Amino acid sequence: DAGITQSPRYKITETGRQVTLMCHQTWSHSYMFWYRQDLGHGLRLIYYSAAADITDKGEVPDGYVVSRSKTENFPLTLESATRSQTSVYFCASSGTGIGYGYTFGSGTRLTVV
Amino acid sequence: GNSVTQMEGPVTLSEEAFLTINCTYTATGYPSLFWYVQYPGEGLQLLLKATKADDKGSNKGFEATYRKETTSFHLEKGSVQVSDSAVYFCALSDPGGNNRLAFGKGNQVVVIP
């Protein structure tokens, strides 16, 4: 099915562990994004990518790593999870051109204990 | 830089009432403007958009007009239903062309039967 899928949907991990959140899109969109959503902070951009092998930092990149070896995948890795990284993470993709909005995944709810 | 401001606080109203959510923006150039909706437990979905001044975006009974003179893109619906209960986000695209969106903080809308 066409779309953007995130996995896992829910994840509980321990402080200090590495965890990877997956994002896969089937449209061959050039742009992909990772956001976190927290009460009181709205959506905050972590990293984004304009194409395969091109990534850049957003507002809150510390503690996160991304890669984009293929256009369709954009995994987000928390190298050493901390409790402050407990959040809901959303992946989004976008084509190019004026007025091209984002399509969001359903999110991953991550709890760091 | 580019930014979006949404009115503070949740909005609570009765079924069939008129809904307005204010959105004003600051941007250089000519951004595209968007409204996204987030239902409980889901990702954001594009509700409507406008790409140039005086354009009106509409979808599912919601409307918003791109007003360059007042730098606004207020969302309206004439008669809300309980199913419209959600969080609504205003966003604008970076006219510089890197496909980044600037999001407002969002407004929780609760419709009471």
Residue pair B77/B65 in contact (Cβ under 8 Å)? The answer is no
Tens-digit pLDDT profile for chain A (113 aa)? 569 999 999 999 999 999 999 999 999 899 999 999 998 888 999 999 999 999 999 999 999 999 999 999 999 999 999 999 999 999 999 988 777 889 999 999 999 99
**CA of B20: how far to CAs of A85, B1, B30, B42, B61, in Å?**
34, 26, 24, 23, 12
Looking at residue A73, what DSSP letter applies?
B
Residue pair A8/A105 in contact (Cβ under 8 Å)? The answer is no
Instruction: Please give the structure tokens belonging to residue A111.
Output: 């709890």
Give the residue on B whose Cα is nearest the Cα of A89.
B43
In this complex, the residue of A30, A99, A104 whose CB is nearest that of residue B44 is A104
Q: How much is the pLDDT for A98?
A: 74
Q: How much is the pLDDT for A54?
A: 95
Confidence of residue B87 (pLDDT cuts 50, 70, 90): very high
Residue closest to B27 by CA, chosen among B2, B53, B54, B52:
B2
In this complex, the residue of A42, A90, A101 whose CB is nearest that of residue B46 is A101
Computed on alpha carbons and rounded to an integer, the radius of gyration of chain A in Å comes to 13
Predicted confidence (pLDDT) per residue in A48-60, tens digit: 999 999 999 999 9
B91 to chain A: which residues are within 8 Å by CB?
101
Predicted confidence (pLDDT) per residue in B34-85, tens digit: 999 999 989 999 999 999 999 999 999 999 999 999 999 999 999 999 999 9
Residues in A whose CB is inside 8 Å of some CB of B read 30-31, 33, 42-43, 45, 48, 50, 90, 92, 94, 96, 98-107
A107 to chain B: which residues are within 8 Å by CB?
42-43
Confidence of residue B97 (pLDDT cuts 50, 70, 90): low
Computed on alpha carbons and rounded to an integer, the radius of gyration of chain B in Å comes to 14
Interface test with A, best of B33, B98, B100, B108 (most A CBs within 10 A): B100
B45 to chain A: which residues are within 8 Å by CB?
104
Nearest-angstrom CA–CA distance, B63 and B58 = 4
Predicted confidence (pLDDT) per residue in B5-30, tens digit: 998 889 999 999 999 999 999 998 88
B100 to chain A: which residues are within 8 Å by CB?
33, 45, 48
Nearest-angstrom CA–CA distance, A74 and B49 = 26
CB atoms < 10 A from the CB of A87, how many? 21
Q: How much is the pLDDT for B19?
A: 97
